[in-house]
Structure 1
Amino acid sequence: MATAYHNLSDYDFNSVPDAQTMRFGIVVSEWNSNITGALLDGAVNTLIKHGAKKENIIVKCVPGSFELTFGANQMIENCDVDAVIILGCVIKGETPHFDYVCMGVTQGITQLNTTGDIPVIYGLITTNTMEQAEDRCGGKLGNKGDECAITAIKMIDFVWSLNK
């Protein structure tokens, strides 16, 4: 469903499993930090609201959105996490750079999800304008970071349910 028809921060609180014993990795892009910082705040606050312990949330920064895939892979290989959330923001400009970065990150995260055992949650905002990005990081359309945190909790619970 298009974000314009759904607030990213709206969800049924009671449908979210307890995150008290879960460990999360978050890889956040430094590029467009006014947006990615708000996404990070949303994700961390939502994880904590659902019981995650601060010491079980590992946050690492990478320079740009293209580096999110590498960062997620390194976090999976080197940290004891149950899920990784990637957070970035790419705003369309006048060159095809937007298309290459978005496609590369999307394909990279998809590959990590299809070949690995740790869910990687896609939190890359791809917009035409800065205003659209602001609307999705705590503005009138909610916060994509909130949505990613909920998705991470639910995906960990999904994996754990298969291993019972």
Structure 2
Amino acid sequence: MNIIQVGITTKNASIAIIVSRFNEFINKNLLSGAVDTLKRIGQINEENILIIYVPGAYEIPIVANYIAQTKKYDSIIVIGTIIKGDTDHFKYITSDTSSSLLNISIQSHIPIISSILTINNVEQSIERSGTKMGNKGSQAALSALEMINVMKKLKKLKI
């Protein structure tokens, strides 16, 4: 039996973070958690982290696709907050954004880790951006670090 299991430290990795400005009061906490985790736990140098701001969650996939095509980054973390409103707009933005990001990740072989909160109200977003539900930005960074090492290991083994 062959088992691939890796750690989360990856000093020489390059990571792009795409952040929605819409609902910025939540997203800045998610970004702070992600960057802190990358630097402190992953030991990523600050100069290896690129942060790109976009208007909203719906604009994230086009930038993620561009970044993925450059092949300069080992992983992409996407940060946003989509709060359910009174219309179906929430469903379409959430579904289209998620499936676009998944397709880009699969086609490029670059892990795209989502910290896009899809929640019912502001209170839920606050809980997930650093209070009682933890910081989903930090959790996304941990996933990105591990996935970078998984992909490196797969390439090294030529699997």
Normalised by the length of structure 2, the TM-score is 0.91
Q: Which amino acid aligns with 2:60?
A: L
Q: Which residue of 1 aligns with 2:103?
A: 111
Where does 1:1-164 land on structure 2 (aligned, <5 Å)?
Answer: 16-50=7-41, 51-78=43-70, 80-164=72-156
- CA-atom RMSD, angstroms? 1.2
Superimposed CA distance per residue, residues 51-79 of structure 1 (whole angstroms, 9 cap, x where no aligned partner): 00000000001100001111111222346
Partner SS, residue 118 of structure 1: coil
* Runs of at least 5 residues in structure 2 that lack an aligned partner in the other structure: 1-5
Q: Is the 8 A contact 1:16 1:150 kept in 2?
A: no
Task: Using the aligned pairs only, state the percent identity.
Answer: 34
Q: Is the 8 A contact 2:13 2:48 kept in 1?
A: yes
Q: Which amino acid aligns with 2:126?
A: E
Q: Is the 8 A contact 2:83 2:119 kept in 1?
A: yes
* Runs of at least 5 residues in structure 1 that lack an aligned partner in the other structure: 1-14
Q: Is the 8 A contact 2:7 2:149 kept in 1?
A: no
Q: Is the 8 A contact 2:69 2:108 kept in 1?
A: no
Q: Is the 8 A contact 1:121 1:148 kept in 2?
A: yes
Distance across 1 between alignment mates of 2:57 and 2:24: 11
Q: Is the 8 A contact 1:73 1:112 kept in 2?
A: yes
Q: Which amino acid aligns with 2:105?
A: N
Normalised by the length of structure 1, the TM-score is 0.88
Query: Where in structure 1 do 4 or more consecutive aligned residues deviate above 6 Å?
Result: none
Q: Which amino acid aligns with 2:26?
A: I
Distance across 1 between alignment mates of 2:7 and 2:54: 29
Q: Which amino acid aligns with 1:73?
A: N
